[in-house]
């Protein structure tokens, strides 16, 4: 229920109000049906679920990973239409409840549009702004636009599960499939809460979503908040994904000790490499945290782990694995002002995610295109 202060703010500034439902003749579609394309879920074709891992028996992966797999980070709905309006209905598995991440990022959907001759829409359209105390909402992204064919991509919530989605278009609008990616290969990114999108203000600003607008391939986000720890069970599941273009490994931040990291990373790579001997693997060292400036031993720990990553990549390359690479993440948020790109000293803002994407883009393009 809205608080009195929220009601007053909405009274003072109409633009702060939740977006209204669109009145008029709307036809509602399930994005699970053709010609819509669901991207970002490797097992969607088999299971028809908005879920980042396959449905697994109890104990197959840690309980937290099993839960977080239902969060739809990186999920996208792609299509083309000449509709003058686009609306969306969403039924979430829970309410917005995060202390330092907006409901628009945790539970919202945002919309990018572009011309039909582009593979990936890159022009931001709008975001669902809804009553964050609810688990169901309906919002119009836009209305009264010209009836021109547009390429559309909707980015799904980052830190919440989705039970149902419906897309609302003009009753007589044309609906077509989205343009094909340049290939059926997939960029897989495994990591932590930062990979999952904490704490972007809206889904499209998570760094893997930013990269997906610049690299015309499907991206699979496998960031598990606080629980990307390099477990062998998770490595074996990731190795099941067909047609990988590249595997990005960035879970250093979730390892409670350097010793644990030394144990898990070589085994994680070994398991994946047995299934995909030639797929490029990019090992990414983590971004710095603001508190490292005040607690030098944390900086020393990060340097120690980064040196281990470098040495591990060097060792594997000397043994003949020439498709494994190291990327230093220490400058991904910037130089002296890196801490200004975070919400809490560690989780990036939209600016931080933009900087991370800018840093990784040229490297990934070299590996996958």
Q: What is the mean pLDDT of the chain?
A: 95
Rounded to the nearest 5 degrees, what angle is found at the Cα of 343, between the Cα atoms of 96 and 193?
A: 65
Cis peptide before 247 (omega within 30 of 0): no
Statement: residue 3 has pLDDT above 80: no
Pull the structure tokens for residue 112: 């990018």
Half-sphere exposure of 192 (CA within 13 A, CB side): 18
Contacts of 192 (CB under 8 A, 6+ apart): 223, 224, 225, 226, 228, 250, 251, 253, 254, 286
pLDDT digits 0-9 by tens, 184-232: 999 999 999 999 999 999 999 999 999 999 999 999 999 999 999 999 9
Between 168 and 7, the more confident residue is: 168
pLDDT tens for each residue of 288-346: 999 998 898 999 999 999 999 999 999 999 999 999 999 999 999 999 899 999 999 99
Helix (H, G, I), strand (E, B) or coil at 324: strand
Tens-digit pLDDT profile for residues 46-68: 999 999 999 999 999 999 999 99
Is residue 210 within 8 Å of residue 121, measured between CB atoms?
A: no
Question: pTM for the full model?
Answer: 0.95
């Amino acid at each position: 229920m809205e608080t009195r202060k929220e009601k007053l703010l909405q009274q003072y500034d109409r633009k702060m109000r939740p977006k209204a439902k669109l009145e008029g003749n709307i036809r509602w579609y399930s994005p699970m049906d053709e010609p819509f394309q669901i991207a970002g879920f490797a097992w969607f074709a088999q299971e028809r679920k908005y879920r980042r891992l396959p449905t697994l028996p109890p104990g197959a992966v840690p309980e937290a990973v099993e839960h977080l797999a239902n969060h739809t980070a990186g999920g996208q709905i792609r299509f083309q239409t000449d509709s003058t309006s686009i609306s969306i209905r969403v039924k979430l598995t829970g309410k917005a409840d995060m202390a330092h991440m907006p409901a628009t990022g945790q539970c919202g959907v945002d919309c990018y549009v572009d011309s039909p001759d582009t593979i990936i829409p890159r022009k931001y359209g709008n975001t669902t702004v809804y009553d964050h105390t609810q688990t169901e909402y309906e919002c119009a992204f836009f209305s009264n636009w010209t009836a021109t064919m547009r390429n559309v991509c909707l980015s799904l919530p980052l830190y919440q599960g989705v039970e149902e989605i419906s897309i609302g278009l003009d009753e007589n609008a044309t609906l077509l499939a989205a343009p094909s990616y340049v290939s059926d290969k997939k960029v897989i990114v495994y990591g932590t809460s930062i990979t999952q999108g904490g704490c972007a203000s809206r889904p499209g600003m998570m760094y893997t979503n930013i990269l997906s607008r610049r690299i015309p391939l499907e991206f699979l986000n496998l960031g598990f908040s606080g629980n990307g720890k390099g477990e062998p069970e998770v490595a074996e599941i990731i190795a099941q994904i067909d047609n990988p273009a590249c595997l990005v490994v960035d879970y250093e931040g979730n390892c409670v000790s350097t010793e644990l990291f030394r144990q898990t990373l070589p085994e994680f790579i070994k398991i994946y490499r047995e299934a995909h001997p030639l797929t490029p693997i990019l090992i990414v060292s983590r971004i710095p945290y603001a508190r490292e400036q005040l607690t030098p031993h944390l900086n020393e720990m990060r340097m120690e782990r980064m040196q281990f990553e470098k040495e591990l990549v060097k060792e594997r390359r000397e043994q003949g694995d020439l498709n494994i690479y190291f990327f230093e993440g220490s400058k991904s948020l910037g130089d002296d002002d890196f801490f200004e790109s975070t919400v809490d000293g560690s989780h990036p803002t939209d600016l931080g995610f933009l900087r991370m994407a800018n840093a990784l883009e040229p490297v990934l393009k070299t590996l996958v295109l």
